[in-house]
């Protein structure tokens, strides 16, 4: 009689264990499905209206409008400088730099700061045109670059600059910057 009760009790515990395993497996699968759905879903942030265009950034890619505005701001920040604000200038450019390009970019900026510190050399850039490639994460800015010593303009040239970008998560970062020479333009 005791063996019958023990057998029934063990069978009852076995059924409970099987139900618990099935419930745990179902919970695991549900959590896995939710995690997959959340991670594959594009994130999107609506930006405050600072222009006449509505802007949004998304984890699926950069919009042409957003890339154009960021390029404009970075180009003006990078190409307009005076000897009195060189430290701030360098600090602001490094804030938008991609971590993988940070060291090389900082080395170039330190050279410029060292050369211009204590001088009267200033630079101003006026944008006359821009092209952006959101798929290739690049942009080209052209305009008039004026160089001043004191208040005197010593040089005024039309220049074209190419910006390379990286986009990770929802962050657009500057990865490269170069002057496009007129020889390269003639070959293209």
Domain at 172, CATH number: 3.10.450.230
Q: How far apart are CA 133 and CA 64, in angstroms?
A: 7
Q: What is the pLDDT of residue 187?
A: 34
Q: What is the pLDDT of residue 45?
A: 61
Q: How far apart are CA 50 and CA 186, in angstroms?
A: 38
Same domain for 82 and 6: no
> Which residue, 58, 78, 88, is CA-closest to 172?
58
Q: Which domain holds residue 73?
A: 44-179
Same domain for 131 and 174: yes
Which residue numbers in the chain have pLDDT < 50? 183-188
Same domain for 91 and 7: no
Same domain for 168 and 125: yes
Q: How far apart are CA 163 and CA 173, in angstroms?
A: 10
For residue 110, CA distances in Å to 40, 104, 115, 120 come to: 41, 10, 9, 17
Q: How many domains does the chain have?
A: 2
Same domain for 20 and 104: no
DSSP 155: E
Same domain for 141 and 90: yes
Instruction: Evaluate if pTM is beyond 0.85.
Output: no
Residue 22 neighbours by CB under 8 Å, 6+ apart:
none
Q: What is the pLDDT of residue 43?
A: 63
């Amino acid at each position: 009689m005791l063996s019958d009760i023990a057998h029934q009790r063990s069978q009852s515990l076995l059924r409970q264990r099987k139900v618990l395993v099935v419930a745990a497996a179902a919970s695991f699968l549900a959590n896995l499905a939710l995690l997959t759905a959340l991670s594959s879903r594009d994130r999107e942030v609506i930006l405050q209206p600072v222009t006449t265009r509505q802007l949004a950034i998304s984890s699926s890619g950069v919009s042409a409008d957003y890339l154009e505005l960021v390029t404009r701001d970075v180009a003006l920040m990078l190409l307009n400088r005076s000897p009195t604000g060189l430290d701030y200038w360098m600090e602001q450019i490094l804030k938008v730099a991609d971590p993988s390009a940070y060291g090389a970019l900082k080395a170039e900026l330190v050279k410029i700061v060292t050369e211009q510190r204590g001088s009267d050399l200033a630079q101003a850039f006026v944008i006359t045109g821009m092209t952006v490639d959101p798929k290739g994460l690049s942009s080209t800015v052209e305009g008039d670059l004026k160089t001043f010593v004191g208040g005197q303009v010593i040089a005024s040239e039309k220049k074209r600059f190419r910006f390379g970008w990286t986009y990770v998560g929802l962050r657009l970062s500057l990865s490269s910057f170069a002057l496009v020479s007129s020889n390269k333009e003639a070959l293209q």
